[in-house]
Amino acid sequence: MKRAAGTGDATTLAQADVLLTANFVALLDDMLLGRVDPRKVVRAWHIAPSRVAAERRVMAAAAALRAGKAIAEIVKELRPDYGVGTPLMAGLARYRAIADSGGWKRLPPGPTLRRGDSGSVVVALRKRLATEGFTSTGPESDRFDDELLATVAAFQSRHGLAIDSVVGPATRQALNVSVTHRIAQIEANLERLRWLPADLGERFVVVNIPAFSLYGYVGGERRLTMRVVVGDEMTSRRTPIFADTLEYVEFGPYWNVPRSIAVNEILPAARRDRDYLRRNRFQILRGWGDNAPVVDPRSLSDAALFSSRYRVRQLPGPDNALGRVKFIFPNDFNIYLHDTPSKLLFESADRAHSHGCIRVADPQALAEFVLHDRDDWTGDRIASTLQSGRRVQVRPTDAVPVYLVYLTALVREGEVAFRDDIYDRDDSLIRALRARARTVGKS
């Protein structure tokens, strides 16, 4: 049968149209949902990008496309940024340029370097720092002088290391991470941004686990920054990645001891020393309900003490493990934010020491941030309530979203900064991204 005039054109046009759309959708899908499924890379990653929300945004992009909007503009508006993406992109370009110029050389093994040292290794250190953009007097000087001291401190600060201007094992290890790995690390963290919800909310809290930091944002601006202590490297104690909403603040809290901590730490101590519980203000309760009766531990055998019929809680007070306040966002992991009586850990550069919950350095500031819409809960009232130890629960008028995230490449003062991959999650993601690229190449 003879084809109608114009059908050939129409077919070619339609095929070209669909081909372009398919590429457009592939790009948007990767950009809005990530190139790999987070749950297939990290079991403890529980923030899932919303496919429904992504599809809604793609449909809006189609309308913009049909209206003639520039494609680059459409993509820019959809690209996850959160105030981090653009500086990370700039950093990615910079580190790629460094790689194209040959990267940096590893520092040779050797003793700790500090002010006053001299020699070829100091020249190598200067070159290494200068290649990454940390400038000092120049590679020709072989003396570890005051200027190099400041440069090493700047490097340590950018990498979340203890700032002592001494090139010891940790600093040397960070210096010897290749530029190729830094590039892959930035790419992996851009992928992690794609796993976050598009809209984080007007007022929200973010805890970046490898940075040991908590941030409060309002309208996209950071209003609050504080140090936190997160779960340690043991698999069972790692702080999980998830999002929830902070529903209430509890002043003067009890600590309902998780069974694993009770069985492994508290009760063995009580078995050795029955007075341990009293001295540390622990109670034994029969049952898990709110009205469970308190029982005298001296009336219980060891077997009964360890039985799951009983639970352990610590009374409110200055030595309570949760400190003077806890911030509750009910979740399946029994993770919350709380104060702590152990303030010294906040001075440490490595703050992965908890059983998974997150200890905050400035609970007063966090309480004020969360309860900002409660006019009756002024800063003074919060301060006096913290001081009193009185047990009281306060709900913000609007629940505040909390995001526990894991970003090892971040932005500080406009520059890319790196953090130690405390839970060993970078390499698996980098491998997954590369595997994905290979799969594509084969298709």
Partner 1 sequence: MTNRRMLWRVAAVVFIGAAVIALRPRRQQQARGTANERLNAAESPRVDSAAVAAALSRRLAEARPPLLRSDEWALVSRMYRGAERASVPVPLWGGVEQIQRRGGELIATLAAADSFGLAPDDTRSAISRAP
Q: Site residues (CB under 8 A) for partner 1?
A: 4-27, 29-31, 35, 51, 55, 58-59, 62-63, 65-66, 68, 70-72, 75, 79, 85, 89, 92-93, 186-187, 190-191, 433, 436-437, 440-441, 443
* 227-258: burial string, b at 16+ Cβ within 10 Å, e else: bbbbbbeeeebbbbbbbbbbbbbbbbbbbebe
Q: Determine contact, residues 131/104, Cβ cutoff 8 Å.
A: yes
CA distance 229 to 358: 6
Q: What is the sign of the dihedral through the CA atoms of 339, 343, 348 and 352? A: negative
Nearer Cβ to partner 1 (79/374): 79
Catalytic residue among 46, 181, 338, 353: 338
> Taking Cα atoms as reference points, which of 394, 274, 372 lies closest to residue 325?
394
Catalytic residue check, 159: no
144 by Cβ neighbours in 10 Å (0-12 / 13-18 / 19+) ranks as buried
Nearer Cβ to partner 1 (350/421): 421
Output the smallest distance, CB 79 to partner 1, in A. 6
> Taking Cα atoms as reference points, which of 420, 385, 388 lies closest to residue 406?
420
**To 5 degrees, how large is the angle CA 248–CA 251–CA 255?**
95
Nearer Cβ to partner 1 (51/298): 51
Nearer Cβ to partner 1 (136/408): 408
Output the smallest distance, CB 311 to partner 1, in A. 46
Output the smallest distance, CB 282 to partner 1, in A. 49
Catalytic residue among 181, 353, 355, 357: 357
Catalytic residue check, 338: yes
Nearer Cβ to partner 1 (71/150): 71
CA distance 141 to 143: 6
Output the smallest distance, CB 303 to partner 1, in A. 55
Output the smallest distance, CB 89 to partner 1, in A. 5
One-letter amino acid for residue 347 of the chain? E
Q: Which residues are catalytic?
A: 338, 357
